[in-house]
Structure 1
Amino acid sequence: MEEKWLVGVDLGGTTIKMAFISKDGDILHSWEIATDKREKGRHIPASIARSIEQQLLECKQTKNRLLGIGIGAPGPVNGEDGSLEVAVNLGWENFPLQEILKRETSLPVVVENDANVAALGEMWKGAGAGAKNLLCVTLGTGVGGGIIVNGEIVHGTNGAGGEIGHITSVPVGGAPCNCGKKGCLETIASATGIVRLALEELSNSINNSRLRDNKEITAKLVFDAAKEGDELAKRVIEQVVFHLGLALANLANGLNPEKIVIGGGVSKAGDTLLEPLKAAFTPFAFPRVAQGVEIVPATLGNQAGVIGAAWLVKQKLSKSMGV
């Protein structure tokens, strides 16, 4: 009897990553398509369904080979019906994604927030493997996150659990955040936040810095300059790791996780970020919490989403059907 496959889908504002994945979490076949945002994104579910059928043909398989579809979507997801109240990048409002995709594919569909899905991927096959209590933080254009307790994602009352990027880091006089608040961690520890801090330092300082030689400043440039001893860049990174370390320590004090997984584009700075982050984290962490936790870089990269989405549907089916 042929082993059944899971379908993992990572829905982004520019591309949709997809994969056929074994029940053990191995990627068997992966591909991506452009996100069709015409007419407020109403064509997205049909384009996903069509693409899955095309790839089945290429793999010389039928839909009978598939167990179900897990999908990570950008925005708060209603756990009851898999709908999204809003997904700004896609043009969605009160969009019944699970219902439509189920109708388009005739397969079981499970929908979850994309940051949560990435966290599940890292727990299953990545840096968090073996841990059932972990924090996953994604440092990219914004700051995303997922909190996993006893192997389950924390959703909270209305699906907004795990909004690590919107922990208030600067309670008075903080920079405005896209969420409508001010002083969020996202305004400091994201790539855009790092650039903002660097530009502030440059305008307030007369000191020489190699950053002044660049027309456009990026987070990578700031990390590279800090690594080479640039004092202004080092001050920026000190601010970033101070606020990130404080936020993660406060979360850890409440959750006592086994691992804190750091992913996203900013995490590519490696030890230039992780070593000072560990040093900033420890003074704010309850000693027993600090002893029990390991801060590690994410390992799955762009595959975290599709793997986590596949885990999601596997778990759902195992609970309902004993798969």
Structure 2
Amino acid sequence: MLIRREANPLRQAGSQSRLRRLNSLAVIETIRQEALTIPMIAQVTGLSKTAADSVVANLVELGWAEAVEPLAPTGAGRPASRYRFRAEAAVVVGIDIGPHTTRAELADLNGEVLAGDSVSPSLTDPPGALVADAVQVVDRLLAAQGRTRAEVWSIGVAIPAVVYRDVVTRGAEGWEGFNVRAALESHFDCPISVENDSNLAAFAEAWQGSATTATSMTYVHSGNRTGAGVVLNNTVVRGANGAAGEIGALPQLGWENAQEHLHDVELLDGRRANRAEVFAAAAAGDPLAVQAVDRFSGVIAIGIAALVLAVDPEIVVVGGGNVRAGDTFLEPLRRHVERLCTVRPAPPIVPSTLMERASITGAAGLAANTVLEQLYALADGDRPLADMDVPPWQWTSESR
């Protein structure tokens, strides 16, 4: 998702040695999700069966692929062997450092989650302490899986802040100027990528969530805070300074204070209600709760409409805790957005399927994607594919 496919080296010509590297990468991409036979690999990649067989044999020798049990025979003759990508040969790590919970997950090289854990730090903990908590969680997960830090090939980190070149430029108190990648580099040798959590949630929804068929989408987080991320042409939009989608910083939109419409709301029976209670009362038909939700939705809709009119997405995905209210929240939100989208029909506004897992899923996916990007860079360079027991940070010096 973060790779710009129009710049994909698989579409570029070159020398025979470079072509062999690109063929290897094409085969890896083909067998990443499903074990295939040589004829199937040849059909998907466009290689001849002889070339496909040669590439697969080399990938097996290097440890990137392995033969698996053939499918049950459907006719005469011996069934053909199938080959799979060894996604479990190493792991990537996704970390989500939130305001209340720090989470980490181990995933294989395809981004499939193997294990996860979390810790609830003190609200007063400084950034360095939160990163140290994340490292401890990762170490526990690695130990439980019988793995070491050396087997971690990439780390993706999601944080609720504006991030530019891994440094927080706008965030919670104490975070501005903090370099998350530098804080982790003393513990891990692998590449580390840091992104805004809404950007990674947008990536996750486009990759595995509610927007898998869309090439452009807007993600809006609506919970204790409000944030947004944008995907255009299958690529997460970061902007020149990492601040794309941060329209909530404009006080005129009212996003920063929107939650006040759902706090301490007086209900028809005289009770004072918090956010969850307001949504529940609105679902039950309490007119005062319905009005409160409508006011809140109207404020959120202004920012969503601004994003829709700016980037013209195919779909808007709404995540965060407020989505648990379902159509009690989404129906008035859709109505307000439709009213504000005066020059085009409002796009579908759908709930996140990943819910609170969106940002951590995006972090693990970013880490897996980073490994793939390095494979592309290797294939596009002048070095052959390395053995799979060589980690990515040594590919440029130890590939053979």
Q: Which TM-score band (shorter chain)? A: 0.7 to 0.9
User: Match of 1:316?
Assistant: 370
Match of 2:262 among 194, 205, 213: 194
Residue 287 of structure 1, CA deviation: 5.8
Equivalent positions of 1:203-218 (< 5 A) are 209-210=268-269, 212-214=270-272, 217-218=273-274
User: Match of 2:359?
Assistant: 305
Kindly indicate whether residue 66 of structure 2 is the aligned counterpart of residue 12 of structure 1. Answer: no
1:192-235 Cα offsets, whole Å, 9 max, x none, are: 44226x3xxx5xxxxx713x224xx2122222222222222222
SS at match of 2:126: helix
Identity across the alignment (%): 28
SS at match of 1:43: helix
1:284-323 Cα offsets, whole Å, 9 max, x none, are: 2246443xx2211011122212210122223333223329
SS at match of 1:92: coil
| In structure 2, C-alpha distance between the alignment counterparts of 1:284 and 1:92, rounded to whole Å | 35
Residue 62 of structure 1, CA deviation: 3.0
| In structure 2, C-alpha distance between the alignment counterparts of 1:259 and 1:7, rounded to whole Å | 29
Kindly indicate whether residue 227 of structure 2 is the aligned counterpart of residue 144 of structure 1. Answer: yes
Check conservation: 1:37, 1:44, Cα contact below 8 A. Answer: no
| In structure 1, C-alpha distance between the alignment counterparts of 2:276 and 2:137, rounded to whole Å | 35
Kindly indicate whether residue 297 of structure 2 is the aligned counterpart of residue 241 of structure 1. Answer: yes
Q: For structure 1, list consecutive stretches of 5 or more residues without a partner in the other structure.
A: 168-180, 203-207
How much is the aligned-residue C-alpha RMSD, in angstroms? Answer: 2.5
Q: What is the number of equivalent residue pairs in this alignment?
A: 291
Check conservation: 1:223, 1:269, Cα contact below 8 A. Answer: yes
Residue 243 of structure 1, CA deviation: 3.0
SS at match of 2:161: coil
Mark the structure with the bigger radius of gyration.
Answer: 2
Check conservation: 2:116, 2:141, Cα contact below 8 A. Answer: no
Residue 7 of structure 1, CA deviation: 0.7
Q: For structure 2, list consecutive stretches of 5 or more residues without a partner in the other structure.
A: 1-62, 64-85, 378-400
| In structure 2, C-alpha distance between the alignment counterparts of 1:277 and 1:13, rounded to whole Å | 26
Q: Which moved more, 1:93-102 or 1:265-274?
A: 93-102
Kindly indicate whether residue 245 of structure 2 is the aligned counterpart of residue 162 of structure 1. Answer: yes
Match of 1:59 among 145, 163, 179: 145
Change (3 A) 1:182 1:272: same
Match of 1:71 among 154, 157, 160: 157
Check conservation: 1:10, 1:71, Cα contact below 8 A. Answer: yes
Equivalent positions of 1:283-298 (< 5 A) are 283-286=339-342, 288-290=344-346, 293-298=347-352
TM-score for the superposition, normalised by structure 1:
0.81
1:156-211 Cα offsets, whole Å, 9 max, x none, are: 332222124345xxxxxxxxxxxxx46523322x3x44226x3xxx5xxxxx713x
| In structure 2, C-alpha distance between the alignment counterparts of 1:38 and 1:242, rounded to whole Å | 33
User: Match of 2:283?
Assistant: 227
Check conservation: 2:156, 2:194, Cα contact below 8 A. Answer: yes
Change (3 A) 1:270 1:100: same
Check conservation: 1:17, 1:33, Cα contact below 8 A. Answer: yes
User: Match of 1:176?
Assistant: none
| In structure 2, C-alpha distance between the alignment counterparts of 1:159 and 1:272, rounded to whole Å | 33
SS at match of 2:215: coil
| In structure 2, C-alpha distance between the alignment counterparts of 1:109 and 1:25, rounded to whole Å | 15
Residue 59 of structure 1, CA deviation: 0.7
Residue 126 of structure 1, CA deviation: 1.2
Moved over 4 A (4+): 36-39, 286-289
Check conservation: 1:222, 1:233, Cα contact below 8 A. Answer: yes
